[in-house]
Amino acid sequence: MSEKISVLISEETVNKKIKELGEQISRDYAGKQIHLICILKGGAFFACELAKRISIPVSIDFMQVSSYENSTTSSGIVRIKKDLDESLEDKEVLIVEDIIDTGNTLHYLIPVLLARKPSSLKLCALLNKPDRRQKEVEISYLGFDIPDEFVIGYGLDYAQKYRNLPYIGVVELDQDDTE
């Protein structure tokens, strides 16, 4: 299989946007501590870079959820594969996602997390695909709206590859690979 990758959002542009998001979050939560919930696996790269750019105290926990099982299309059933290690009670919580497309996973997850009684719960996403939305979710901090293309880099993968790219790219499969 051979893939061609074209750059959709450059490393410089991604870094500039993450810096802006970190500054905005720091202003909005001034005088408080923020608790980041990183949605694995893809969110790890973005969450780490974002945390470095937040100037107030930060704690972080990790959660892994899936609605895809062993398929490339969502089953519609969300399953928590790795739950949080810490309580959310009375914390200022920010969910950190790499990408939001259908919104189904977060539509399920947000009420689950709200039931754990955080002081506040907001959402931060590096990428948003509004054309794919099936369930609306409120994104408080957003990096980029992108077209409905298969993207990689900055934690996003294709067959578990390319997560380490420092930019957002689009995978173009050879015609032979799509048959």
* Nearby residues of 145 by Cβ (< 8 Å), 6 or more positions away: 127, 128, 129, 130
Task: Write out pLDDT tens, residues 25-62.
Answer: 999 999 999 999 999 988 999 999 999 999 999 999 99
Q: State the chain's mean pLDDT as an integer.
A: 90
CATH number listed for the domain at residues 11-146: 3.40.50.2020
Active site residues: 101
Q: What is the pTM of this model?
A: 0.89
Q: What is the mean pLDDT of residues 117-143?
A: 95
